[in-house]
Chain A
Amino acid sequence: MTPRLEETCRSSEAVGRTGALTEEAVLIQRLRAGDETAFTEMVNRYHRALIRLALAHVSDRSVAEEVVQDVWMAVLEGIDRFEGRSSLKTWVFSILTNKAKTRGVRESRSIAMSALSAEGEEGDDPTVDPSRFRTNGHWKDYWTDYPQSWDEGTPERRLLEKEGAGLLEQAIAALPSRLKQVLIMRDVEGLDSKDVCVLLSISEANQRVLLHRARGKVRQAMETYLEGQASFS
């Protein structure tokens, strides 16, 4: 499973950021040498992200934990063969994607689960509620209920600074599986769009659609909450 990524994915991360690469190369050397602190460092860096991602495939927290433990073991077993053509992060994520996918398929014993992950759930519904646009006249389909500013000093911004992280976690957790995967990889973990395409076996165009829907839903959740609360304060 991992070699496929190695072959097809020449990450710009591996070529571009020399500073990061050197640091990463050192980390890999230490891992190969069996350095325990190097391992702990890596676990600390990616564990949380891996759990989040695993939860896009499997429904149960404890199953996600198991999957991620398996990933770490696979990383240790595979580190000698890792050629560094993709970044270490992308490689670790590719192992997770494969393991979680297998596990997710095995786990989807109920019809409900497969229905959940079906294409339809990602939805073709518009990014913004249509009722917020005018329905007639010269300015039909232009805003009637337009979005508020979240500038410095607005109640929305103050709420965002205070509760933003918790809100986001909730909004992300509520996303359908595919959308969640793309959003986590791109926006939470900052992977390259090319790497994400390879990891999820999707086209660039498809990825943009998924990312668009995911960001749209998250923005909507934030707006609903912030404006609801801000109007009380």
Chain B
Amino acid sequence: MTRDEIRIYVLDYLAGRLTCKKWVEMVTDYLEGSLSLWPRIRFHLHLGLCNGCRHYLQQVRTTIKTTQQLPREPTPPHVREELIRRFRSMSSS
């Protein structure tokens, strides 16, 4: 076994053999800060040994960030005009 393989086996053992399949289901709890101490430690230990999960987390983060930056389309002019018309009739009543 190479040093790297040994490292992976040890980390995986320390993480309580948390599988990738289970790990991906913890991502939102992790991002929401709702993992308690031990699950959080296991989560991090696994992250340290697994490139697939590191990429997975990066993909989720990128997805969220892109969602937060969705462009705001302007209100269609006819809708805005209609609303303003109603607004005027309301304020004058």
Contact = CB atoms under 8 A, between A and B. Distances in A.
Interface of A: 34, 36, 39-40, 43-45, 47-49, 65, 69, 72-73, 76-77, 126-128, 130, 133, 140-143, 146-151, 160, 164-165, 168-169, 172, 183, 187-188, 190, 193, 204, 208, 211-212, 215-216, 218-219, 222-223
Given A160-B62, A193-B32, A212-B25, A39 B52 contact: no
Contacts of A147: 52, 55-56, 59
Interface string B81-93: 0111011101100
Given A169-B70, A187-B68, A141 B59 contact: no
Contacts of B60: 215, 219
The DSSP consensus for interface residues of chain B is helix
Contacts of B36: none
Contacts of A212: 25, 27-29
Most buried by B among A133, A140, A147: A147
B2 interface: no
15 contacts: A39-B84, A43-B80, A44-B80, A47-B75, A48-B72, A48-B75, A127-B25, A128-B24, A142-B19, A143-B20, A150-B58, A165-B71, A188-B67, A193-B32, A208-B34
Given A140-B19, A168-B70, 7 more contacts: A34-B91, A44-B80, A76-B87, A128-B21, A141-B19, A142-B19, A212-B29
A219 B87 contact: no
B64 interface: yes
Contact of A142 (B50, B58, B71): B50
Question: How big is chain B's contact interface, by range?
Answer: 35 or more
B1 interface: no
A142 B17 CA distance: 10
Contacts of B4: none
B50 A44 contact: no
Interface string B26-50: 0111001010000000000000001
A146 B55 contact: yes
Contacts of A168: 63, 66-67, 70
